[in-house]
């Protein structure tokens, strides 16, 4: 059982303190990046991924989502995974008759992998929370207005983004959360989304 002092503190945009263990099971992601604050359903079929989920459910329901460099690789090694991902909480889990698992996860914070502890029967790492570096001021306010205007233009151009998404992001006070949420809606490559995930300063 993870000791209370063996944790990484993560403070989200609402000043909630999330207690995330420094040792985390890993869920390799084929072609998807999930950002902090984003809630996403997933369908899990690979045995190593199922084992990681089982480990997460026996503790605090925390799991690290790491994207693969090559999404078509069925049995990735540690070298096949990016080293910055999103720690998420497993909100719901449903086991299906065909041995797949449907889960709903909510991203909590960015995590940098410091060490891979093992690869079998599932990946397990030691990581550290990457703190959000929020900025304020007139420049940030101008950037927020610009990003919102561009996002609205994307929606009206027919990029399969629901109009409700615009109202959702307009109500966000934290610029970092705004950027992550908009990025989750856009049709970008895994490499592009990973680059955004690895970008810490809000203005960037």
Predicted local confidence at residue 14, as pLDDT: 39
* For range 138-151, the mean pLDDT: 92
Is the pLDDT at 5 greater than 70, yes or no?
Answer: no
- pLDDT exceeds 80 at position 11: no
> Could you report the per-residue pLDDT of 99-127, keeping only the tens digit for each?
889 999 999 999 999 999 999 999 999 99
Query: Would you state the pLDDT for residue 174?
Result: 87
Whole-prediction pTM: 0.87
**Looking at residue 173, what is its pLDDT?**
81
DSSP per-residue string spanning the chain: ---TTSEEEEE-TT-PEEEEESEEEEEEESS----TT-EEEEEE--HHHHHHHHHHHHTTSEEEEEEBSSTT-SS--GGGB-SEEEEEEEEEEEE-TTS-EEEEEEEEEEEEEEEEEE-SSS-EEEEEE---B---SHHHHHHHHHHHHHHHHHHHTT-S--THHHHHHHT---HHHHHHHHHHHS---HHHHHHHHT--BS--
Angle among Cα 111, 199, 158 to the nearest 5 degrees reads: 110
What pLDDT score was predicted for residue 23? 93
Q: Is 24 left (phi over 0), alpha (psi -120 to 50) or beta?
A: beta
Instruction: For residue range 155-201, list pLDDT tens digits in order.
Output: 888 768 888 888 889 888 889 899 999 999 998 999 999 999 999 88
Over 70: is that where the pLDDT of 7 sits? Answer: no
Q: Is the pLDDT of residue 4 over 80?
A: no
For 130-139, what is the mean pLDDT?
83
The pair of structure tokens assigned to 83 is 């080293």
Q: Assign 2 a pLDDT band (cuts: 50, 70, 90).
A: very low
Mean pLDDT of the chain: 87
For the stretch 30-65, pLDDT in tens is 999 999 989 999 999 999 999 999 999 987 899 999
Non-local CB neighbours of 170 within 8 Å, separated by 6+ positions:
148
């Amino acid at each position: 059982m993870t000791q209370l002092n063996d944790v990484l503190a993560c403070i989200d945009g609402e000043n909630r303190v999330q207690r995330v263990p420094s040792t985390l099971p890993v869920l390799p992601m084929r072609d998807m990046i999930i950002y902090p604050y984003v809630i996403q359903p997933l369908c899990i079929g690979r045995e190593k991924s199922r084992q990681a989920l089982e480990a997460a459910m026996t503790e605090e329901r925390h799991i690290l989502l790491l994207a693969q460099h090559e999404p078509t690789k069925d049995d990735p090694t540690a070298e096949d995974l990016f080293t910055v991902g999103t720690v998420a909480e497993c909100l719901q889990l449903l086991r299906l008759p065909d041995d797949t698992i449907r889960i709903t996860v909510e991203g909590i914070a960015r995590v940098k992998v410091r060490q891979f502890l093992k690869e079998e029967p599932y990946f397990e790492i030691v990581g550290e929370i990457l703190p959000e570096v929020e900025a304020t001021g007139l420049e940030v306010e101008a950037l927020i207005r610009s990003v919102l205007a561009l996002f609205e233009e994307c929606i009206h151009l027919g990029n399969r983004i629901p109009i409700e998404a615009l109202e959702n992001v307009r109500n966000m006070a934290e610029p970092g959360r705004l950027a992550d949420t908009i990025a989750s809606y856009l049709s970008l490559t895994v490499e592009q989304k990973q680059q955004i995930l690895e970008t810490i300063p809000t203005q960037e």
